[in-house]
Amino acid sequence: MLIKEEAGKLKFIKLEPVQILALGFAAVILIGALLLCLPISSAEGKFTPFIDCLFTSTSAVCVTGLVTLDTGTYWSTFGQIIIMLLIETGGLGFMTFATFFAVILGRRISLKERLIMQEAFNAFNIQGMVRLMLYVMGITFAIEGVGALILMTQFIPQYGISKGIYYGIFHSVSAFCNAGFDLIGDFKSLTPYAENVTLNLTICALIVIGGIGFAVITEVINNRGFKRLSLHTKVVLTTTALLILSGAVLFFLLEYANPKTMGALSFKGKVLASVFASITPRTAGFNTISTSDMTTAGKFLTIILMFIGASPGSTGGGIKTSTFTLLFMTVISVIRGREDTEIFKKRIGRSLVYRALAIIIIAFGLVILTTMVLSITQDGDFVEFLYEATSAFGTVGLSLGLTTRLNIIGKIIIILTMYSGRVGPLTLTLAFARKAQVANSNIKYPEDKLLVG
């Protein structure tokens, strides 16, 4: 809570859980920026401009991956470790670590803290939240550990034992948290490994698992059989699979003959690159082919996937897969003449449909506003601006090269968009849900008609 002085008296201002989450993320970003400013954080041992440190810290905590300074060459090992810790904190949420240390110290978790955890994980209730938190941390470290071991087999032969182990851990954490930061250097991302089957499949698996949400991961582990899963888990898994499959097919067709992207790859490489290009926009930010050299259709498809993003309660951003599916099935229901939205033979309440519609409109408005400001303050073309704005909102990290050319106004705009994309949609959704629960008004205005369409 905060303290406010009013009329000579001290009054306490109680913060809602969503406000604490927003302020918590901001505090972690600021601490990270200050640490990155230190000379020990840069490879050359010099102070880094605060705006670039703030940009990098925001990108790491918001698990985005957009960078103004090359992660692999500019930052020292200390700086890279700070970035990795910020990614882990941003991906799991600062409340997860706070709860973990509180449990270790034997401190009791209060009801307010449980409510904050509920908000952070987008859970339906607060029952078993502490147990879920600890379970999530265990699952996360286990998956990241396995991913790191597999990646080490690819990095150690190239970089040696110590550097190979370090690279394996860093890229595993970055992939599972859907951050998209890499240490390859010179802004190349994973393009040198376009035809490496092991690395591609490992990174893709980590991105998908981290992007489906901790509630879904937990339910899949504890349940057997698709029919026994909850509606939410069914929607997330089905939507994720369809988006990956359809995206891969479209990228394969659009970029197959493009000499600057997939044209020079073998058939195996083209298949791998297509699957990777379909998975990474939701919302990881790695790339194995040049994003700036994609066809216009390929760039637009990437923008669509970035806007949809990952799933609720995950390490990713965007409007979320379940939100997209809910609105899509609502349209189908209207076309079929049904009054209610139906998914897997379940009826969805109208209030949830309204919230999903509000989130999509707000998200679309934010992307358009960011695109407009970038078009006024930066040099480039419309596709670059829309791509950058959507990538920042969806906390993706892909860029057509605009990020390194941003002036201070552009950097501030993208910082705010990344922060809004990581915190905003979740905060707005929960805020709407809370208001819907407490609203108790019997006032209803007369019904009338309006022409639409």
Model pLDDT, residue 1? 44
Domain membership of residue 273 as a residue range? 13-434
pTM: 0.86
pLDDT at 3: 46
Residue 445 lies in a domain: no
Contacts of 452 (CB under 8 A, 6+ apart): none
Who contacts 350 (Cβ-Cβ below 8 Å, separation ≥6)?
A: 340, 341
Residue at 450 is within a domain:
no
Q: Given this model, what pLDDT does residue 450 score?
A: 73
Q: Are 57 and 86 in contact (CB under 8 A)?
A: yes
Segment holding 341, helix H or strand E = strand 341-343
What six digits make up the tokens of 51? 């705006």
| 124 within a domain of the structure (yes/no) | yes
Measured in whole angstroms, how far is the alpha carbon of residue 147 from the centre of its chain? 19
3-state secondary structure of 252: helix
Here the tokens at position 429 are 């959704």
DSSP state of 403: G
Total domains in the fold of the chain? 1
Which of these, 364, 392, 87, lies nearest to 402 by C-alpha position? 392
Distance CA 433, CA 430 (A): 5
pLDDT score for 317: 82
Residue 441: inside a domain, yes or no? no
* Contacts by 123-132, CB closer than 8 A, 24 or more apart: 123/215, 123/313, 130/99, 130/103, 132/214, 132/218
Cα separation, 403 vs 411, whole angstroms: 8
Residue 144 in any domain: the answer is yes
Say if residue 30 is exposed, middle or buried (CB neighbours under 10 Å; 0-12, 13-18, 19+): middle
Q: CA-to-CA distance for 239 and 211, rounded, in angstroms?
A: 12
> Does 448 reside within a domain?
no
Residues of the chain with pLDDT under 70: 1-21, 93-130, 132, 224, 424-443, 449, 451-453
Distance CA 213, CA 208 (A): 9
Continuous segment of H or E residues that includes residue 4: strand 2-6
Report yes or no on 440 lying in a domain. Answer: no
In a domain, 442, yes or no: no
Q: What is the pLDDT of residues 369-384, one digit of tens each?
A: 999 999 999 998 999 9
Our CA angle for 334, 320, 352, nearest 5°, is 45
How many other β-carbons are positioned within 10 Å of the β-carbon of residue 108? 8
Q: Tell me if 358 sits within 8 A of 428, measured CB to CB.
A: yes
Residue 233 corresponds to which tokens in the numbers above?
Answer: 């888990």
